[in-house]
Structure 1
Amino acid sequence: MEQNVDLFLSYLSVERGLAANTLEAYGRDLVRYVDFLEKEGVRTADSVTPPMVLRFLARLKEGGLSARSRARSLVSVRMFHKFLLSEGISSLNPTSQVEAPRSLQSLPHTLSPREVERLLAAPAGDEPLALRDRAMLEILYATGLRVSELVGLTLGDLHLQVGYLMTLGKRSKQRIVPLGETAIAELRRYLSLGRPFLDKEEKSPFVFLNRFGKGLTRQGFWKIIKRRALEAGITKNIMPHTLRHSFATHLLENGADLRSVQTMLGHADISTTQIYTHVTRERIKKIHEQFHPRG
């Protein structure tokens, strides 16, 4: 099993290009896992069973490991067994039937509808960068795109006449995403009045550009949304996916069905989308506590 761990870590380093600190975290999780399996008398990957994985998680909890660390350990173990299966080293994946306890799932950070309005209004004026930022924020809230999907948009992905765009999501899955009228209007203003000043050489295929005419990065967008949140007076910790989370939560709060939200977000599994139902329930509880006489 130790040799298999070495193979897996080598794969993550060479094929996936993960950072050194990330590899160290995976390594720590899997050394702990292999030590546990050896005490269980396991010598091969095919000997691992789902109950063993559950006992491992229980042992971590007994050892005082935090919920976040236990969740990360489970991710490491899942990836490890998926790798062994894909490489033909193992014929089964014992983690496929093991679900993460609800307590291990952290609720996504969201903005209230009023906070979203303030954020979207923050890039005021007709300067090229203001037009760009306003269009980006409007599109994120209108579509629920991942930030990586937003900065990766090309001019050929836009179909504004019919009101949608194409995006390439995780695992290179392409999906059609509808745009609202406001987002389309702001995008048209940016394309006609802002983008030409940024793409002076008319060479970039990307929709959203930095001041040097290059495509924006995820890190670049993170700095933008942080700055615009400060301008809007929002004190919450804004993350790159905050508008994506807000998009999904507000849709569900206003009556959208879970399957439709799953399709718009590009989730392969509806269980991933279900986390947003917990967010809406938490909000309802807070409203009850705040306004009910005996809350």
Structure 2
Amino acid sequence: MHPSLKQFVEYLTVEKRHSPHTVAAYRRDIASFLDAFPGETLYYITTARVREYFLTLQKKGLSTRSSARALSSIKTFFRFLVRENLVETSPVDILESPRLWRKLPGILSLADVEALLNAPDPAVPQGIRDRAMLEVLYATGLRVSELVALKTSNLNLEVGYLRSFGKGDKERVIPMGDAARQQVQLYIQDVRPKYLKNKTSPCLFLTRLGTGMTRQGFWKLIKQYSRQAGVAAPISPHTLRHAFATHLLERGADLRSVQQMLGHSDIATTQIYTHILQGRMRDILDRHHPRA
């Protein structure tokens, strides 16, 4: 690994406390960039050379979205180099990211969500666990990585909230409705002790072997239940996160509160959902404005 890249990876891991997945993405983007300049000193890489690099990627068929991500990674890398006095200036800060069409997430209807939540069999332990996981995901808008990382110590079922640690290990407290609380309580009382089999684990959601549920394992489950429920729309754990945000906004939640519950550091990320607010504002205007 290039010495500067090694330093940067340590910085992301130790100081910024990024997840292994995020660090790996940065490392891939920057390693590919450095491979295009073998044996060259970073100090002498110019803006023109970086433009040529991205033109080459474009000719090779790299998507606009991937190019934008790579440029963002390289900008972060050079800012780190400037901060550490490894280069004098960044050759990439003046480059603009390629324009992206904001793709609105696929949204599940209330009927689809209801069908999905009712798909697990409540007569078997796995069905009780899976229903609890689905209810928590829809009730809180957690990322799937945050869901499977939940510990029993993160819950306060009496008051009705949970603590989650999102990107960058940032903690947030999220309220949890009665439906999710009841399902989680049922799982903790009737299923979790059976899965533990006299062992101990800090993880809230366990497999039948008594180990923590994984992202991949839950991904397979939600695919299975979507087919079982007859949900036609493509579905993933992230789809329930989108449904959580959309259904809140449709019923009058403000964007800032939804931002905090989703754990978005920038409200611009949450604003992808403002198409929902626009329809609601039109309805309010039509009903309440004296000259509408």
TM-score by length of 1: 0.75
Following superposition, the deviation at residue 172 of structure 1 comes to 1.4
Following superposition, the deviation at residue 170 of structure 1 comes to 1.4
For structure 2, the 5+ residue unaligned runs are 14-19, 280-292
CA RMSD between the two structures: 3.8
SS for the counterpart of 2:191 is helix
- Matches of 2:25 and 2:232, distance apart in 1: 30
Partners of 1:29 and 1:76 within 8 A in 2: no
Which residue matches 1:180?
177
Q: Give 1:211's match in structure 2, choosing from 184, 205, 208.
A: 208
Percent identity, aligned pairs only, is: 46
For structure 1, the 5+ residue unaligned runs are 283-295
Following superposition, the deviation at residue 274 of structure 1 comes to 1.6
- Matches of 2:142 and 2:71, distance apart in 1: 27
Which residue matches 1:246?
243
Partners of 1:70 and 1:104 within 8 A in 2: no
Are residue 268 (structure 1) and residue 284 (structure 2) matched? no
Q: 1:174 to 1:66 in 2, by over 3 A?
A: closer
- Matches of 1:95 and 1:278, distance apart in 2: 33
Are residue 28 (structure 1) and residue 32 (structure 2) matched? yes
SS for the counterpart of 1:103 is coil
Which residue matches 1:162?
159
Deviations along 1:245-290, one digit per CA (max 9) or x if unpaired, are: 22112222333221111100111111121222257779xxxxxxxx
Deviations along 1:60-111, one digit per CA (max 9) or x if unpaired, are: 7985753233223323323322442454424666766877455254433332
Partners of 2:65 and 2:100 within 8 A in 1: no
Q: Give 2:132's match in structure 1, choosing from 121, 132, 135.
A: 135
Q: Which amino acid aligns with 2:172?
A: R
Which residue matches 1:194?
191
Partners of 1:71 and 1:104 within 8 A in 2: no
Which residue matches 1:293?
none
- Matches of 2:100 and 2:57, distance apart in 1: 12
Partners of 2:161 and 2:173 within 8 A in 1: yes
- Matches of 2:129 and 2:5, distance apart in 1: 41
Following superposition, the deviation at residue 138 of structure 1 comes to 0.4
Q: Give 1:6's match in structure 2, choosing from 2, 9, 15.
A: 2
